[in-house]
Chains A and B, each alone.
Chain A
């Protein structure tokens, strides 16, 4: 009897195109249930309870971003399946994405619309990997319109263009996205768009001018409140140089980027830029969190990259929620630096730093 039940749980049945076992279905059902309950637990928190404008926006944004969390989980699962061809890994990626604490806290607790831009950014990468370069650029444009953090992926699309994956004309969309966001919506506030409003209110609430808002980067090591204006300009210049250098180095290598190479490069960029860019805040690591999850599903022996990055992100979130971090952010910045070094080694030479077990190298 027991054997019959346990065998039934793991026996695969053909459902349409897919071969699924009841245990897969259980995961697919229970992951959103747990994810919903997780979000319900924290939704009573409001980051700026005294701001009427925020309170009006917050609930709607929480629900909308919650829906995008689910869409993001589906895109992540499809991405993992595309990279690995492994069904179980895809299901796992779906469940883990839904339960990512940073995603849940960002949407249901904080009421920020970050998962929307991450969804479009990841979708754009998926389309790029699938060879639909032009659609990818359009999606990227939407992502760039929604958040300045999508900017981290700009070198990826520059490389895609140079490697004939995309057409130049499609870049008008990201250009418009960036211009529309920075020129009209974000700076002047002429168009009231919930995602931007929430961010604008947050920016007003912060008050002080720092070079890093709780993101464990270089500026946490040298002091986030010193030479803010001067360092900001220097950092932006350095970031632009880094961007150019990355593009040139990849193109000079002459190697055509395929599937996982796009992911690892994107992840590296999403980790490196927040480390140098000025005015990075707690939420700037979310894109890297999701990309890290996709990355470790392909390179399982580097699982710690995702776990540590998510933890770092959540430590940054907590620094905002609490007003100060339990662990000094300068210490966390060193851990971040370690992850960046690991990823640079991987992207440059394909060298993996494994902990515990080693995958067969491709």
Chain B
């Protein structure tokens, strides 16, 4: 009986078509992790964050007043900085007869938590070939505090664009650039923060991993995302200009950093609001230009490690120098750090510290709790950037390809 049970647990399944192997234990692990992830989210279901009261609830009410669904998209907002795809989701939520708006919004985000987790599972499996590690990757993403609280507690939707970027990364690592860029385009249709990863995609183009034509997916997907609003009768130019409004940061000008541990925590987030807002953008562009020059000028081979390290470094550079960054804006770095855990497990400190830095900001927002000064986290964040920069230089030297 015991032996039978043991055999059953270690029984191996093989899906020939996809060349995937897994055991009963993996299935059990998957089920347990999924259950815990759902229980954790259930525990947070009733938390009402300030953003919901201030923004989401009035938006949904406006959409409902306009008729909800596609019709609702014709609504005139006093202020909204979301693009059509997410507003469409909100508009359908507004007329949903089941549950309340808050729960429905959280359910949408939780659904995408799982979409992202499956992407992590696929990437880890692609890299390691181990189904156990893949399931663990899935579990880590679902249970990491920032991902958990972002959707299930705060009712934010950052995981939506993040999940599409993760699938984009998966397809790029599988050398399927068209699919990769299509998902990147979908992510772009949801959120402007997708562009934090753009420098990495430029490097990938320079290294021949992506074709120039694939970048057309960005405007294409943005346009596809606009269609429901166009059907509802919204003005084309108004829809196009949503990101320009966001880039101006009109709503965020009251602080140079919104509880995010970046360079402004060293010099003060409350002075020279106008001067540093512009200067910060130019410093960011300058820093990116220098990194792009260094990474594009040399000839080397890309591998998963370098891909993730470079991705983290470039994204961190953006959020470290760009003004008006929110607590949630390093989510791309966090998910890449989680992936890196399974690529180079001995560097476990990378995801640990990355999530810690971000979650410090979450804590200040959600619990109004600021025990450790933010500049301490900013120092940690900067040290992580040093680590990534050093690793990139090291790997580029190792992977150097002779021009001959």
Interface residues of chain A, those whose CB is within 8 Å of chain B, are 1-3, 5-6, 9-10, 21, 23-24, 26-27, 30-31, 34-35, 37-38, 40-42, 44-45, 88, 91-92, 95-96, 98-99, 101, 104, 109, 300-301, 303-304, 307, 311, 314-315, 317-318, 321-322, 326-327, 355-357
Interface string of B267-306 (1 = CB under 8 A from A): 1100110111011011101110110011011010000000
Known: A5-B212, A314-B267, A326-B375. A34 touches B386 (CB 8 A): no
Complex partner residue of B268 from A6, A91, A318, CB under 8 angstroms: A318
B208 x A38 contact (CB < 8 A): no
A356 x B297 contact (CB < 8 A): no
- Given the complex, which residues of B lie within 8 Å of A88, measured CB to CB? 294, 297
CA distance A10 to B263 in the complex (A): 32
B293 x A27 contact (CB < 8 A): yes
Interface string of B25-37 (1 = CB under 8 A from A): 0000000000000
Known: A101-B283, A326-B375, A357-B390. A23 touches B293 (CB 8 A): yes
Closest to A354 in B: B390
Known: A38-B279, A356-B391. A2 touches B293 (CB 8 A): no
- Given the complex, which residues of B lie within 8 Å of A6, measured CB to CB? 205-208
B211 at the interface (CB under 8 A from A): yes
- Given the complex, which residues of B lie within 8 Å of A35, measured CB to CB? 282, 286
B394 at the interface (CB under 8 A from A): yes
Complex partner residue of A91 from B206, B283, B293, B299, CB under 8 angstroms: B293
Task: Find the residue from A3, A311, A357 having the highest chain B CB count within 10 A.
Answer: A357
B206 x A9 contact (CB < 8 A): yes
Kindly list 10 other residue pairs between chains A and B, CB separation below 8 angstroms, not including A95-B293, A314-B266, A356-B390: A9-B296, A30-B289, A40-B278, A41-B281, A42-B275, A42-B278, A95-B286, A101-B279, A315-B267, A357-B393
B252 at the interface (CB under 8 A from A): no
Interface SS of B by simple majority: helix
CA distance A355 to B389 in the complex (A): 10
B387 at the interface (CB under 8 A from A): yes
- B residues 353-391 in Cβ contact with A at 8 Å: 373, 375, 382, 386-387, 389-391
Interface SS of A by simple majority: helix
CA distance A303 to B290 in the complex (A): 14
Known: A10-B296, A307-B386. A41 touches B278 (CB 8 A): yes
Interface pairs A-B: 8 shortest CB-CB: A356-B390, A41-B278, A318-B267, A99-B286, A38-B282, A41-B279, A357-B394, A34-B286
B290 x A92 contact (CB < 8 A): yes
- Given the complex, which residues of A lie within 8 Å of B294, measured CB to CB? 88, 92
B265 at the interface (CB under 8 A from A): yes
CA distance A149 to B81 in the complex (A): 50
A99 x B283 contact (CB < 8 A): yes
- B residues 196-223 in Cβ contact with A at 8 Å: 205-208, 211-212
- Given the complex, which residues of B lie within 8 Å of A301, measured CB to CB? 390
A95 x B393 contact (CB < 8 A): no
Complex partner residue of B272 from A1, A42, A99, A304, CB under 8 angstroms: A42
Closest to B294 in A: A92
Closest to A34 in B: B286
- Given the complex, which residues of A lie within 8 Å of B208, measured CB to CB? 2-3, 6
Task: Find the residue from A2, A23, A27, A326 having the highest chain B CB count within 10 A.
Answer: A326
Task: Please classify how large the interface on chain B is, using the bins under 10, 10 to 19, 20 to 34, 35 or more.
Answer: 35 or more
Give min CB distance, A39 to chain B, whole Å. 8
B290 x A355 contact (CB < 8 A): no
- Given the complex, which residues of A lie within 8 Å of B290, measured CB to CB? 27, 92, 95-96, 99
CA distance A5 to B339 in the complex (A): 32
B279 x A303 contact (CB < 8 A): no
B393 x A10 contact (CB < 8 A): no
Task: Find the residue from A1, A2, A95 having the highest chain B CB count within 10 A.
Answer: A2
Known: A99-B287, A314-B267, A357-B393. A23 touches B296 (CB 8 A): yes
- Given the complex, which residues of B lie within 8 Å of A109, measured CB to CB? 275
Give min CB distance, A222 to chain B, whole Å. 22
Known: A6-B208, A92-B290, A318-B268. A356 touches B283 (CB 8 A): no
CA distance A42 to B268 in the complex (A): 16
CA distance A37 to B394 in the complex (A): 33
- Given the complex, which residues of A lie within 8 Å of B375, measured CB to CB? 326-327
A104 x B279 contact (CB < 8 A): yes
A356 x B289 contact (CB < 8 A): no
CA distance A317 to B208 in the complex (A): 43
Give min CB distance, B377 to chain A, whole Å. 12
Give min CB distance, B312 to chain A, whole Å. 14
CA distance A92 to B296 in the complex (A): 13
CA distance A21 to B298 in the complex (A): 12
A326 x B289 contact (CB < 8 A): no
CA distance A355 to B205 in the complex (A): 30
15 contacts between A and B (CB under 8 A): A5-B212, A6-B208, A9-B296, A10-B297, A10-B299, A30-B289, A34-B282, A41-B278, A42-B272, A99-B290, A104-B279, A314-B266, A321-B267, A322-B271, A356-B394
Closest to A92 in B: B290
Closest to B214 in A: A2
A315 x B266 contact (CB < 8 A): yes
B390 x A321 contact (CB < 8 A): no
Give min CB distance, B37 to chain A, whole Å. 34
